[in-house]
Structure 1
Amino acid sequence: MLIATFSLPHDAIALEHAFRELPEMKVEAERIAAHSRAWVMPCMWAANAEFDRTDEVLEADPSVDDVVEGYEFADEKYYQLDWAEHVDERIDAYIDQRGSVLDAEADKDGWQIRIRFIDREQFDAFRHALDEQGTDFELRDLTEPGAPRQTFGELTPDQRDAIVLARKRGYFEVPRRTTIREIAAEMDISHQALSERLRRGLTSLVDATLTTPGDAVEE
């Protein structure tokens, strides 16, 4: 058995319109079932948004067929949703690979979902299905009982954005196609702040993927 955490864009699951209109919103899906489409992610908690506006945006989102009900609390609101047919089809595609969705949450950067697979073959089939659909995804974490944990992307969102943009702009190429000041200007931060994000982010990646607890930093 393997448990994998994937980062997926909004259009790979749902709520692309909602997050475009409410980038500050955060949602956490609840009561996720593995083998019944009717009960996959029907309920979610929404936070960091003005709830009257959230109601309007969810009702206008093409991925939501109907907002069945909602209950507002102090700083969160609980929604039960009927997803549009194309969302059901996406969920079906994931279930067809025999992946059991364990939990899911989303913010302006996309969805993060945790899925359980029976074996490596099913895990590979799921990734292949994403590739065939042209879905841009990132494997963030992979756990196999009885084997060491593999973690991917132990970064803050700001650190990840800085590293990805630097890569896209050719900062790591030889010779470099851009400068740290140009990237910082594009991100609207100081070059010192960008340098710190890159340093801390790359350190986290090295610690997560290349070192072991016994590897000490030389003084």
Structure 2
Amino acid sequence: MSLVAVVDLTHPDLALTPTIRSTAAEIQVVTHAATDAETGMFFFLVEADSFPTFEAALERDETVADSMLVAEASTARIYRLRHTPGTKLVSPATTEVGGLMLEAESTASGWSIRMQLPDRETLSQFCEFCEREGIEYTLGHIYSLDEFSVDDGGVGLTDAQRETLVKAYTEGYFEEPRGTSLEELADDLGISPTAVGGRIRRGASRLIERTLVDEE
């Protein structure tokens, strides 16, 4: 019985954690890009209000050996990074237990990951890996792909996406005319307008994927 689990992870040596904690950037692993766990090369989508600030943080980040900008837009860029040897990576551990990393995005203090696993035993093995490495973890929403019996409505939102979407809805962001703005939501949530927009976009995409696309 395959399942999907959302897990929040915290450790100072997790990839990009120093940058995450010192900037307001929203960072997401580009999961469909080629990565090489042996050399520590990974691709990240970054949304930020100030990329000079973000890149300065990268320079100080002890988990980053070197970085390269590979694509850019006005508020989003894709970077290719190589991590230092001491960086803690969870994607290889997910693969080792027979799982698949579906999504990973930054939180205020670390990462929120969404992964597909064969069963709850492999989820326990992943949690044991975290305990061995000293990585703090919080199990969030877990749902079965086979039975669609779910803890969170079956949509697999991260806690940050859920909080932001609910806040945007209750404050009238989706109404016409809008009852609030990205800037006002950002003030309430304590994050940047760019981060709010990213969470709304990714959360809405996840809702459509899980509630409409599969149905079709």
Q: Please state which band the TM-score falls in when normalised by the shorter chain.
A: 0.5 to 0.7
Would you say the 8 A contact 2:21–2:109 is kept in 1? no
> How do residues 26-175 of structure 1 correspond to structure 2 at under 5 angstroms?
26-32=26-32, 37=37, 42-87=42-87, 90-147=90-147, 148-151=149-152, 156=163
Structure 2 contact 28–46 (Cα < 8 Å) conserved: yes
2:16 aligned with 1:15: yes
Assess, with a 3 A threshold, how the Cα gap between structure 1 residues 37 and 114 changes in structure 2: closer, same or farther: same
Give the aligned CA root-mean-square deviation in angstroms. 3.2
**C-alpha distance in structure 2 between counterparts of 1:40 and 1:142, whole Å:** 29
Supply the AA of the counterpart residue of 2:79. Answer: Y
In the TM superposition, what whole-angstrom CA distance separates every residue of 1:40-71 from its partner, at most 9, and x where no partner exists?
A: 87111212331122112112211111102343
Distance 1:113 1:12 in 2: 16
More off after superposition, 6-15 vs 112-121: 6-15
Q: Is the 8 A contact 1:3 1:117 kept in 2?
A: yes
Indicate conservation of the 8 Å contact 2:64/2:83, yes or no: yes
* Secondary structure of 2:68 counterpart: strand
Normalising by structure 2, we get a TM-score of 0.61
The one-letter code of the counterpart of 1:3 is V
Change (3 A) 1:138 1:4: same
Report how far residue 12 of structure 1 moved. Answer: 6.0
TM-score (norm 1): 0.61
Report the Cα offset of residue 146 of structure 1: 2.7
Question: Could you say which residue in structure 1 is the equivalent of 2:207?
Answer: none
Q: Equivalents in 1 of 2:9, 2:41: separation in Å?
A: 15
C-alpha deviations, 1:75-109, integer Å up to 9, x for none?
Answer: 11221111222336554333322222111110323
One-letter amino acid matched to 1:125: Q
Task: State the partner residue of 2:182.
Answer: none
Unaligned runs of 5+ in 1: 158-188, 190-219
1:122 maps to amino acid: T
Alignment partners' CA distance in 2, 1:109 and 1:42: 20
Q: CA deviation at 1:153?
A: 5.8
Which residue identity is paired with 2:8? S
For the Cα contact (< 8 Å) 2:13–2:63, is it kept in 1? no
Matched residue type, 2:93:
A
Query: Structure 2: which 5+ residue stretches go unaligned?
Result: 153-157, 165-187, 189-216
1 or 2 for the larger relative contact order (CA 8 Å, sep ≥6)? 2
Distance 2:130 2:97 in 1: 11
Tell me the CA shift for residue 21 of structure 1: 2.2
Kept in 2, the 8 Å contact 1:19–1:25? The answer is yes
Larger radius of gyration between Structure 1 and Structure 2: 1
Which residue of structure 2 aligns with residue 164 of structure 1?
A: none
Structure 1 window deviating more from structure 2 (8-17 vs 77-86): it is: 8-17
Q: Distance in 2 between matches of 1:103 and 1:40?
A: 18
* SS of structure 1 residue aligned to 2:122: helix
Q: Give the C-alpha shift of residue 20 in structure 1.
A: 2.9
Q: Distance in 2 between matches of 1:118 and 1:141?
A: 16
AA of the residue aligned to 2:139: L
Residue identity over aligned pairs, in percent, reads 22
* Corresponding residue for residue 6 of structure 2: 5
